[in-house]
Structure 1
Amino acid sequence: MFGENHAHIFMNAVNYRQAVRKHENGVDEEVIYSHFRAYQEKNISFVRDGGDNLQVSKRAKELAGEYGIDYRTPVFAIHRKGHYGGIVGRGFENLKEYAALVKEAGAQGGDFIKIMTTGIMDFNTDGSVTETPLSFGEVKEMVHIAHEEGFSVMAHTNGARAVREVVEAGADSVEHGNYVDGETIQAMAESDVVWVPTITVVKNMIGCGRFSDKVLKKIWETGSRNIRSAFARGVHMALGSDAGAYRVYHGQGLADEWNCFKEILGDSQPVQQRLLEGEQRIREKFQRQ
């Protein structure tokens, strides 16, 4: 019924370094095939990738038709050098270099642009995001450049202010969006942005021993509260699990994300309809115009 709106085909949900080694000497197509089989078994026919720096998602796009999958990818994500993002893409030092990367993504068949504007959740604390976000001025120009080239923009962003600013900058989807507040949720509600919370990443780690369950449960509670608030205010949302991330398996990750939403919002027709509408927005926008 639903598509997977945030995945990383090169990751294996077990060990990032191990996953990278599989492709260091060239794309291992069997990895792609195994993940596509997992999606096929779950009747998932739409996958939007978050990119990588190994050409795996690029090759996956070329192979997806064999499995009846509508597969979208930015080819690689784009981050400012010295900031988070190297694990999934390419870096720039100035906006001229950024613009060149946007053009290169297009030349390689990218369907949209993914930008990294912040770090990730610090799972050792409740409420912190690693490193300082990019400035609003820079993010706004990054979104503008991508739009001028005919691309929609997927923004990896966490933290209330950073999410609010990326929405104000005109990004088309917000990925993760952890630790948003009421003002930010309202900003999303008043925009056309689609929020893809990927909350199963947190839920699936509870009990694994990698991080404190006390901290993880607090993050889960905060995320759940924000999703309820966003739903109540009419924010466009879609299901994306961050498949490939630790303990989030391809295919199963989407089922896990849907289970999280059912636990948070209930299994009702209005919830399903809102998520399907959000996904439809992504399907329509996240292909080069």
Structure 2
Amino acid sequence: MPANTKWILKNGSIIDGVNDEVLENAYIKVENGKISEVQQGEPRETEGFEIIDCTGKHILPGLIDCHVHLVWNGSADPQSVIKNEENDRIALEAYKHALDTLKLGVTTVRDLGAPDRTVLHVRNVIDSGLLEGPTIIASGAPICMTGGHVYYLGYESDGPDEVRKNTRRVLKEGADLVKVMATGGIYTKGEEPGSVQLTIEELSAAKEEALKKNKKVSAHADGIEGIMNCLEVGIDTIEHGIYADRQALEIMKNQGTFLVPTMAVMRQLISSPDIPAFALEKAKQVVGPHFSMLQEAVQIGVKIATGTDCGSPLTPPRYYYDELAIMHEAGMSEMEVIKASTAVAAECLGIEDQRGSISPGKFADLLIVDSNPLNDLNRLRGDKLVMKNGVLVS
């Protein structure tokens, strides 16, 4: 169907991403790629519309992944796959991974680290309409200390002045947000997840420059000292948050800071001896504390947005749905998990006025699933119709 096709999805049960109540026996009108009407009952004025009968089915917003690395393929050691490749090939591979993600029902992703402008170019081509793909919110190259966490993806920076300059650089290149590396991590040799990397002065410089361009800042932050540094300077989203304690989580709740847990990748990292040995040993140490932190964050009421780190070792895009299961296991209800993957995630990305919920004026990013995911989130893994900007995904 052409991009300007008008649709009516009728007789469905709508989970809109915002409200706790399911809108039964309802219809959605889609015109010019956007939702024009959402009502219960039988639609009127149907001439010129293609009809999709959703009897017995549930309709929900397209899902959002707030933490991916599209340049990585989710193999046991994905950086080794691209380390000697030219950027044009890396960009093509990133597009392939983006398309795989869309076909799963994830219609928007936030990419938090890619060499140079590779993913920025992929985003631009998709946004132009030349190629089908998910909406990509991209940080471009992350800001890290020299030799710091995943330095091979980022712009190495030492001292506030270099951080400031490289933050300006990545924003000039077209980044939608800034990604900083506040601590060490798992998938870089010779560092510990709890160790501080960028200093509080360096983090402040990045945050100041982002504010000048009305952009958010996301921080890789595993250890408690690095997490507290991020909270002090007002970083918008904490990625992973492995060793966040109750005090840190309470601050996050009070400040409205988002937590993007990425638990699925941690469990994958300990699932196979094929990943690099240094990463396997570190992952074994953190997977327990990480899950305990997530449980406490749920209990406290921190804003949690779904993110997977897909692309990382042994975590190709299909593991998105494992993240939903882990969030449920940690104490979130099925409805809370869906909200974290739609409206809350959209707020985390700063696109809540465009995507993440089913309401008039929003882009028509929609899933039509055969049975009720509120009874079992695993039903989202099954066959489904995916609509992106009002176009059915083949």
TM-score (norm 1): 0.87
CA contact (8 A) 1:123 1:216 kept: no
Correspondence 1:234 to 2:295? no
Query: Aligned match of 2:312 in 245, 261, 281?
Result: 245
State the superposition RMSD in angstroms. Answer: 2.7
1:207 Cα deviation (Å)? 3.0
Residue matched to 1:87: 152
Distance 1:232 1:48, change over 3 A: same
Q: Deviations over 1:246-274 (max 9, x none)?
A: 00102x13222112212222542234334
Aligned pairs (5 A) from 1:252-271: 252-265=318-331, 267-271=333-337
Query: Aligned match of 2:176 in 111, 119, 140?
Result: 111
Residue matched to 2:161: 96
Point out where structure 1 has 5 or more consecutive residues left out of the alignment.
none
1:234 Cα deviation (Å)? 1.3
Residue matched to 1:225: 292
Q: Deviations over 1:165-223 (max 9, x none)?
A: 20121001111111111111111111121111111111113331246989756633322
TM-score (norm 2): 0.65
Q: Percent identity?
A: 20
- Secondary structure of the 2:124 match is helix
CA contact (8 A) 1:52 1:75 kept: yes
Greater share of helix residues, 1 or 2? 1
Aligned pairs (5 A) from 1:30-179: 30-65=92-127, 66-121=131-186, 129=193, 131-179=195-243
Greater share of strand residues, 1 or 2? 2
Q: Matches of 1:91 and 1:216 in 2, distance apart?
A: 25
Distance 1:26 1:130, change over 3 A: farther
CA contact (8 A) 2:241 2:290 kept: no
Q: Deviations over 1:24-43 (max 9, x none)?
A: 26344441332122112202
Point out where structure 2 has 5 or more consecutive residues left out of the alignment.
1-61, 354-394
CA contact (8 A) 2:310 2:320 kept: yes
CA contact (8 A) 2:298 2:330 kept: no
Distance 1:53 1:68, change over 3 A: closer
Q: Matches of 2:98 and 2:342 in 1, distance apart?
A: 22
Structure of greater Rg = 2
Q: Which moved more, 1:37-46 or 1:52-61?
A: 52-61
- Following TM superposition, where does structure 1 have runs of at least 4 consecutive aligned residues deviating by more than 6 angstroms? 212-215
- Secondary structure of the 1:5 match is strand
1:225 Cα deviation (Å)? 1.6
Q: Matches of 2:315 and 2:124 in 1, distance apart?
A: 24
Q: Matches of 2:101 and 2:209 in 1, distance apart?
A: 33
1:51 Cα deviation (Å)? 2.1
Q: Matches of 2:223 and 2:199 in 1, distance apart?
A: 13
- What is the number of equivalent residue pairs in this alignment? 282
Distance 1:17 1:274, change over 3 A: closer
